[in-house]
Amino acid sequence: MSNSIPATRIYVDMNSFFASCEQQQREELRGKPIGVVSHSGNYACVIAPSIEAKRLGVKTGMRLSDCRQLCPSLIPVVARPFIYRQYHLKIMDVLRHYCIETVPKSIDEAVMDMTSYRLVYPCLKTVAQNIKVSLSEACGSYVKCSIGIAPNTFLAKLATELQKPDGLVELTPENLDEHLARMQLTDLPGIARANEKRLMAVGIYTPLQLRHSSESLLRKVFGGIVGNYWYQRLHFMEVDGSSTQPYQSMSTARTVSGRQRESLALLESLFVSLCTRLEQRMVKQEVFCKEIRFFIRYTNIPAWETRIVLNDYTQDAVEIRQYIQHQMACFEQAHSFRLFNNRVQQMGVTVSSFLHGKRCQYNLFDNKINKDKVRAVMYALKDRYRRDIVRRASEIMNPHEMRDAIGFGSVKDLGDKDGSPINEYLLEDDELPLI
């Protein structure tokens, strides 16, 4: 491979992001092993261990009780999603100062397309070092990142995994084979156990062998064009891109606590909150859905789920709830079984088959245009003044039963300052009392 292939991607991956934000916010946590958990309780899941906790064997996804066996001094910290979103916006401001063509891949990762900046920045390693300094100034010294530089997005992301925490690695045609020789197949982003077995079945046991396999062989292993993509990724071609795609679906789900499952009113409030959260997301994205899915999972009995295809598009939480309740009532009547009971473990709602609001056609005999306008105004008021400045009547009862939650996935809901407006609703503490 010719050494004339230029590096054009900078990938920024924040280290132990949620835990680092908490340590930056709270001096008493600095330098100590902490685990950010989704909720309080011995069986809570650690969603982000700090760097100190990782060194002692704590991993993302472990139960708090298991973590304490490895690290008795672990300090659990209940997640504060609104804090992490605020740091995300600061990080994006810094990155876009260096390159306007910066796309967030998740709340703690972003890729910068430097193709148009080759004459502005002759040395991308210098740019990466300056980014680290700027992030420290904007966010604080405890919020660190690993940066990868490469000719394409995949290899730039891979470079961030090679040196953590606070790493800086550039992958080039000259050193790629050297790095791949020290890795396992499952170290490659996108290669899990199933793909590892496929590759081993044809004699590919290492990432280095994968890189030097023929494109036709990889097509056989991965079943078509995916094999072409893997060949191109490992030969410095860009196939993953950096543009954001519109939503295909939106989901929200919550695990039910012991206290909640003992109260029908609390289960209903959680159900209302799930529908309302999806309404808020659809309003911000200016889309309407035509398909609804709902599930309830139980302890020791089979789950129940339903799929509803609507005649007309909607984004209204009350309508979504009513459609689901109708299906629940039909099932309960036919089976003499109460779906909301003390065995409920988890419930979730998904909406899909979207249509953008500008293309929505209203029924001549049931014009919802005024209701849709009022809904948009309601969320505009929430954004401008505060989340609780106006609420539906259904949201008043037990309004905080559904704690805010955040994953490492898409951040399109949050918006950005160079595209859609910032969603201020998601930057507020959901534990604040009603006014």
* Strand, coil or helix: 331: helix
Among 12-26, 172-186, 386-400, the minimum mean pLDDT is found in: 386-400
Using the predicted structure, report yes or no on whether residue 415 has a pLDDT greater than 90.
no
Q: What pLDDT score was predicted for residue 285? A: 85
For residue 357, pLDDT over 60 is answered with yes
Cis omega (within 30 of 0) for bond into 81: no
pLDDT at 278 over 60: yes
Say if CB 355 and CB 259 are below 8 A apart: no
Q: Reply yes or no on whether the pLDDT at 395 is more than 80.
A: no
The pLDDT value recorded for residue 311 is: 87
Q: Binning pLDDT at 50, 70 and 90, where does residue 5 land?
A: confident
Judged against a pLDDT cut of 60, whether residue 400 lies above it is answered with no
* 136-167 pLDDT tens trace: 999 999 999 999 999 999 999 999 999 989 99
In this structure, are residues 64 and 53 in contact, taking their beta carbons and an 8 Å threshold? no
Residues 6+ apart with CB under 8 A from 183: 206, 207
Q: Using one digit for the tens of pLDDT, what is the confidence trace for 120-133?
A: 998 999 999 999 99
The contacts of residue 339 (CB under 8 Å, 6+ apart) are 296, 304, 328, 331, 332
Structure tokens at 131: 């980014």
pLDDT of 280 over the 50 cut? yes
What is the chain's mean pLDDT, rounded?
Answer: 86
Whether 349 has a pLDDT exceeding 90, the answer reads: yes
CB under 8 Å to 429, separation ≥6 — which residues?
80, 82
List Cα–Cα distances, 86 to 77, 194, 245, in angstroms.
18, 37, 23
Least confidently predicted of 173-187, 246-260, 308-322:
246-260
pLDDT at 419: 47
Structure tokens at 311: 């005649």
Transcribe 250-306 into DSSP letters.
EEEEEEPPHHHHT-HHHHHHHHHHHHHHHHHHHHHHTEEEEEEEEEEEESSS--EEE
Structure-token pair, residue 396: 């008043």
3-state class (DSSP) for residue 405: coil
109: annotated active-site residue: yes
Asked if residue 175 lies in contact with residue 33, where contact means CB atoms within 8 angstroms, the answer is: no
Express as a percent the part of the chain with pLDDT over 90: 59
Q: Is the pLDDT of residue 416 over 80?
A: no
Q: Residue 245 burial by CB count (10 A; 0-12/13-18/19+): exposed, middle or buried? A: exposed
**How much is the average pLDDT of 99-113?**
92
Q: How confident is the model at residue 1 (pLDDT cuts 50, 70, 90)?
A: very low
Instruction: Tell me which of 22, 52, 109, 170 is the catalytic residue.
Output: 109
Q: What is the pLDDT of residues 229-263, one digit of tens each?
A: 999 999 999 988 755 567 788 898 888 878 888 88
Instruction: Read off the tokens for 222.
Output: 């991965």
Average pLDDT of the segment spanning 385-403: 64
Do the strands 344-352 and 249-255 form a parallel or antiparallel pair, or are they unpaired? antiparallel
Cβ–Cβ < 8 Å for 350, 250:
yes
pLDDT at position 381 = 83
**Cα distance between residue 185 and residue 342, in whole Å:** 44
